[in-house]
Amino acid sequence: MKKLGSLIILLMLALPGFSQKFGYIDSEYILSRMPEYKKAEETMNALTEQWTKEVSKKYEDVAQMKLKYQQEEILLTQDMRVERQKAIEKAEEDLKSYNNSIFGLNGMLFQKKKELLKPIVEQIYKTSEKIAKNHKLSFIFDKASDLSMFYADPRHDYTDFMLEELGLVNK
């Protein structure tokens, strides 16, 4: 009976050895190797530059309206001043609204980025899921995310497996 109790205790102590397995990947490195991501990044940069120019032009237009008003203010009647001030205020509000519709939290830039990155993120997710199943991993962490990883044993790095699975092997 003592032998059976000892065996049970020994087996219980050995169970943590069969506990969950984990690995990590470096998504920044993986993304830097993906042509699809580079193309999406170039598209985003071009759109950002285009929209920034449009917004800057609108800011210049509003600044010109203000300058013209200041130069002509002494020549305008009270009604004309009020009318011009309202026009300037409306132009400023329209500009803020336009700027927010592009660069705001749910603006066109955010939506376009989400649209361009969705297939890439799905591809990485499916690949990491496949690797987790193939290597019997319970968790795959992302070294590049906000998750603080002060040290990670390189033997748990599955980045190369991800690159291989995605067809991005070093040549």
- Collapsed DSSP state (helix, strand, coil) of residue 73: helix
CA distances (Å), origin 56, targets 49, 60, 148, 162: 10, 6, 39, 42
Q: What local confidence, expressed as pLDDT, does residue 11 receive? A: 47
| One pLDDT digit (tens) per residue for the chain, 171 residues | 555 444 455 444 455 555 677 888 888 999 999 999 999 999 999 999 999 999 999 999 999 999 999 999 999 999 999 999 999 999 999 999 999 999 999 999 999 999 999 999 999 888 988 888 888 888 888 888 766 554 566 777 778 888 888 888 765
Q: What local confidence, expressed as pLDDT, does residue 158 receive? A: 79
Q: What local confidence, expressed as pLDDT, does residue 18 receive? A: 55
- Helix boundaries (H) for the chain: 2-14, 27-33, 35-72, 78-103, 108-134, 159-165
Backbone angles phi, psi at 152, to 5 degrees: -140, 125
Q: What local confidence, expressed as pLDDT, does residue 147 receive? A: 62
Q: What local confidence, expressed as pLDDT, does residue 114 receive? A: 95
Q: What local confidence, expressed as pLDDT, does residue 7 receive? A: 44
pTM metric for this prediction: 0.70
Sketch the domain layout of the chain as residue ranges.
Answer: 20-165
Phi-psi region of 167 (alpha: psi -120 to 50; beta: other; left: phi over 0): left
